Amino acid sequence: MKISRRDRNIIIVGGIVAAVVLVVKFGIFSLIDLSEELASAKQEQEAKLIRMAETIRQREYYQQALSKVKSTEESLKTVLLEGDDPVLVTAELHRIITTLAEQNNITVARIDASAKPEKLDAETIKKNPFMAGFLKVKVRASLKCTPDKLMTMLAILENHQKYLITERLEIRAWNVRPDKEITPDIVLATFLFKPDIADAEIKKQAERDKGKEKA
């Protein structure tokens, strides 16, 4: 069968068009799909890298804060009463009062321990999570003594080698004379430090800071 020049040209043009369609369909479109997949994978890896960098940053912050807690804990041992058990620290306050009272001929009529340790206020802890580890314990003592003996005892407490606070002093008497016996009530307090509480609060603050940054 003889093909005319016109038919031959049509066949050639049709073949070229078909080839172009195939190239576009299986070549260019495939490259576009591949490019989109690569872009998506790149974005996913970048997001993963950002998350990893943030985790490392938070870990470094937490480790630095923890290191500070441990360092401060060591220095606090020299000024705070020994131990982090409120019962034992309260017992030590009790011992200090009774010992000083005995040394200065003061009668201890009664000693009452606080019901439970007191935390610092929320605003202080918010500003510095490390402060969450400090708990105040205190005892209240009712005494019988002359004013000069009371002053001597208070001076010793003020200059004690450990951190003690005479939080409150109540004297119910009128026309007090140096030789007249009075019945003062004093509240003696101190702080104990629990590194586990400080550690947990610092970690929570780091997580809150991380959440704020993401928002």
Q: What is the CATH number of domain 86-200?
A: 3.30.70.60
188 pLDDT above the threshold of 80? yes
Chain centroid to Cα 129, Å, comes to 4
Task: Please tell me which residue, 89 or 24, carries the higher pLDDT value.
Answer: 89
Cα 143 to Cα 188: distance, rounded to the nearest angstrom:
13
Tokens (6 digits) for 142: 């009712």
| Predicted local confidence at residue 126, as pLDDT | 85
The DSSP code sequence of the chain is -PPPHHHHHHHHHHHHHHHHHHHIIIIIHHHHHHHHHHHHHHHHHHHHHHHHHHHHHHHHHHHHHHHHHHHHHHHHTTTSPS-S-HHHHHHHHHHHHHHHHHHTT-EEEEEEE-SS-EEPPHHHHHH-GGGGGEEEEEEEEEEEB-HHHHHHHHHHHHT-SS--EEEEEE---SS--TTS-B--EEEEEEEEE-HHHHHHHHHHHHHHHHHHHH-
Torsion of CA 45, 51, 56, 61, to 10 degrees: 160
| Average pLDDT, integer, range 79-107 | 90
107 pLDDT above the threshold of 90? yes
Cα 14 to Cα 2: distance, rounded to the nearest angstrom:
19
Give the mean pLDDT of the chain.
77
The proportion of the chain whose per-residue pLDDT surpasses 70, expressed as a percent, equals 60
Express each pLDDT in 26-65 by its tens digit: 555 555 555 666 666 666 766 666 666 666 666 666 667 6
